A = this chain, B = another copy of it.
Amino acid sequence: MIKKIINHPEAVVQEMMEGIILADANRLKRIDETKVITKKEVPIENKVALISGGGSGHEPAHVGYIGKGMLDAAVLGEVFTSPTVDEVYQAIKAVDSGSGVCLIVKNYTGDVMNFDMAAELAAEEGIQVEHVIVKDDVAVEDSTFTSGRRGIAGTIFVHKLAGAKAEQGASLKEVKSIAQKTVSHVRSMGVALSSCAIPAIGETNFTLADDEMEVGIGIHGEPGIFRTALTEAKGIAKQLVEPILADMPLEKGAEIALMVNGMGATPEMELYILYKEVHQLLNKRGIMVYQSFVGEYMTSLEMGGASITILKLDEELKSLLIAESDAPHFMMR
């Protein structure tokens, strides 16, 4: 059984949002009666606005990435459930300064549909809206909630690079172009050691035996590629990195950003051990880590496990990656 520090299982997202706003009232605000959280001061004149969002349960995604040089707003859904069309639409209206809005959407059928419909509604009112679909998970082509690949932790890099571009005063077209370039340069894959439980359901989403792990798992516990005996960190690193490199070959001397993302319950100690294995494996192939990210960036409630994300860099992406941001959860090492 999974125990939780909550009040009412049906109200977890509402109450989490109340907590977020109480904790961060100097920087954030909530649009009344919605699950939309924006920067305190929006719209920002002469800046393309960025919105992301999706089901809750992946914290700090996406509210933790609201800040200078990243997102202007996040639209939350219930746990593992897409945000509504109306709420995405309200977010667009709230952040648009006339410079346009770029939506960063993880590739889940419900998310894509609802962000898309909201964009159409906004466009009818003359707001320029573009959207970019993130599908970085190389594990499976189609999945429980997707047609095509799933969007997972690589989404954070799309927030960062497109956000940095917008901060420079770029046009909507230029911001979208950077977001798309990032999507084309980023790949991820994850592993689960244990399951998680949606509060309103209470039971775990799936079950793994005491000696098992699931390779290629999604961030909602959707099935991966295979279940196998839990191996040591070195073997896990290999099982996650090789499919990424098979999908996005990297030449000797290639520079990357490397993220080891914890799924929720996995201690930071283990993330660093996995990081070491991945870093060394890549170095042996002549691939150089330009910037490292180790921590919880895109979680699945209390799921045990981790994902690896590799972002292939060039000079343009590097400068956007290290541009200043005050989003509290975007920690670079």
Stretch of A85-93, A121-129, A297-305 lying at the B interface: A297-305
Whether B22 lies near A292 (C-beta < 8 A) is yes
A332's nearest neighbour on chain B, judged by CB, is B328
User: Is A232's CB within 8 Å of the partner chain B?
Assistant: yes
- Min CB distance, A74 to chain B, in Å? 13
A56-B269, A57-B269, A264-B267 known; A294 vs B23 contact (CB < 8 Å): yes
In the bound complex, residues from chain B placing their C-beta under 8 Å from that of A292 are 22-24
Whether A268 lies near B5 (C-beta < 8 A) is no
Is chain A's interface secondary structure helix, strand, loop, or mixed overall? mixed
In the bound complex, residues from chain B placing their C-beta under 8 Å from that of A332 are 328
Whether A12 lies near B302 (C-beta < 8 A) is no
* A22–B8 alpha-carbon span in the complex (Å): 43
- Min CB distance, A79 to chain B, in Å? 8
- Min CB distance, A297 to chain B, in Å? 11
Most buried by B among A269, A270, A301: A269
A7-B234, A234-B7, A264-B265 known; A15 vs B273 contact (CB < 8 Å): yes
- Min CB distance, A198 to chain B, in Å? 11
Whether B302 lies near A232 (C-beta < 8 A) is no
* A233–B304 alpha-carbon span in the complex (Å): 23
Whether B333 lies near A5 (C-beta < 8 A) is no
Whether B3 lies near A193 (C-beta < 8 A) is yes
> How many A residues have CB within 8 A of the partner chain?
67
User: Is A272's CB within 8 Å of the partner chain B?
Assistant: yes
User: Is A213's CB within 8 Å of the partner chain B?
Assistant: yes
User: Is A19's CB within 8 Å of the partner chain B?
Assistant: yes
In the bound complex, residues from chain B placing their C-beta under 8 Å from that of A289 are 22
Whether B333 lies near A23 (C-beta < 8 A) is yes
- Identify A7's interface contact among B8, B230, B233, B279, CB under 8 A: B233
- Min CB distance, A99 to chain B, in Å? 28
* A301–B269 alpha-carbon span in the complex (Å): 8
What would 24 A/B residue contacts be, using CB atoms closer than 8 Å?
A3-B210, A3-B230, A5-B236, A5-B273, A6-B273, A7-B277, A13-B269, A15-B272, A15-B273, A16-B273, A17-B272, A19-B274, A19-B275, A22-B275, A22-B279, A23-B292, A24-B292, A60-B268, A264-B265, A264-B267, A265-B302, A267-B301, A302-B304, A328-B331
**Top 6 A-B pairs, shortest CB-CB distance:** A19-B272, A19-B276, A59-B268, A23-B292, A265-B265, A24-B333
